[in-house]
Amino acid sequence: MFALPNFFAIWLLSSILSLTTAQYTQKWHSFSKTCTNITLTDNWFLNATCLPLDPSQHVPINYIPLDLNLCITMNETGQLDWDLYGKASNYCNNCTLALNPGCVDLTCTCGADWGFPSHNTTINLDEGIGNYDGQVVCRTTGPIDPPVTRL
């Protein structure tokens, strides 16, 4: 007697979750595929002109730089890595961008003050930076948080 309502409730819940997941996935995208004019200023501020993934959204084009210190750190092996509020500028400097087909690489000199020999390390920004409705954001913050930017 209760099997049918329980089955229906489970089916309905799983359908809603799958739609929510699909909507979440569509809002995120590798930012280099949907943004132009990608540059780096002051070692850590990522600039990009991005449009919303949904053309019906009338969001102004994003010109607010993203502070990569909010997304990236140097890990225990001396490599750039993803971490919320990572403060990579405490460990690295002389950062540059390389705009490659399918990815944007950030390369920095890291480790000199932290027990590592000074060395270059690279991270693919498309793995941790997304275009969320026209706003460049750290994926570590997730879409439920407001975009993390510097004014």
Range of weakest confidence among 31-35, 92-96, 110-114, 117-121: 110-114
Over the stretch 1-23, which tens digit does the pLDDT of each residue have? 445 455 444 443 344 333 333 34
Sheet strands side by side (includes 119-124): 92-100, 103-110, 119-124
Region 69-91 average pLDDT: 92
At 7 the pLDDT is 43
Which domains, ranges and CATH numbers included, belong to the chain? 3-141 (2.30.60.10)
* Measured distance CA(125)–CA(107) in Å, rounded: 10
Angle at CA of residue 88, ends 110 and 123, nearest 5°? 70
Total-model pTM = 0.72
Beta strands in the chain (DSSP E): 35-41, 45-50, 66-67, 72-74, 80-82, 92-100, 103-110, 119-124, 129-132, 135-138
* 3-class SS of residue 145: coil
pLDDT > 90 fraction of the chain, expressed in percent and rounded: 37
